[in-house]
A and B are shown apart, each in its own frame.
Chain A
């Protein structure tokens, strides 16, 4: 069963807009990670945030983590058509990584 659940399931935005994706999880974690998957490809790691961190940045990505609410958000600023992909949150605990079902992001040129 999935530990993380992403919200919304699908998101369509215009190029240049920001995209915000949310993830909720159920049990204690060591870290939370976000991955991207382009159609027909493997997953690619985007960013990792540890349980004692609240916010992290990487280029156009900003991730927040609220362990009291068991939730995380991924913000992609100034989106590009190339950001079109599925995005997954994954929770790390007890040596294993469990994924949610993903969010499909479409960025219209």
Chain B
């Protein structure tokens, strides 16, 4: 049963600490998306990749956030330094698309709390 795997599921950290979230997309998928979900803002697109190349990270605060795909089986989202306003659920999703984005498969999310 293919699924997107995210780690950690829950993370509590203190302001100023580095946080790294990991995502294993479904094997064979060539697009990977990172979303952040909060009650106030809903689902915000942070960054996305196609064939491991970053296509758009305009939704991401560049001074503290970075997203990478070291290889086809791993995507990472790093926050350094973290701040309380970063508290949210971060979702990774993967899909298969050449030009247009089709169905996305979501992981269960990483719930981040920054104290």
Contacts and interface: CB of A to CB of B under 8 A. Distances in A.
For chain A, which range describes its interface: under 10, 10 to 19, 20 to 34, or 35 or more residues? 20 to 34
28 contacts: A2-B42, A30-B101, A31-B100, A31-B101, A31-B102, A33-B104, A35-B106, A41-B108, A42-B4, A42-B107, A43-B43, A48-B102, A48-B103, A88-B43, A92-B101, A92-B102, A95-B97, A95-B99, A95-B100, A95-B101, A96-B45, A96-B101, A97-B45, A97-B101, A99-B35, A99-B43, A100-B42, A102-B42
A94 B97 CA distance: 11
Given A88-B43, A98-B45, A42 B55 contact: no
A45 interface: yes
A6 B16 CA distance: 36
Q: Is the interface of B mostly helix, strand, loop or mixed?
A: strand
A48 B50 CA distance: 20
Interface of B: 4, 31, 33, 35, 42-43, 45, 48, 50, 55-56, 91, 93, 97, 99-109
A89 to B, nearest CB: 11
Contacts of A99: 35, 42-43, 45
A44 B109 CA distance: 12
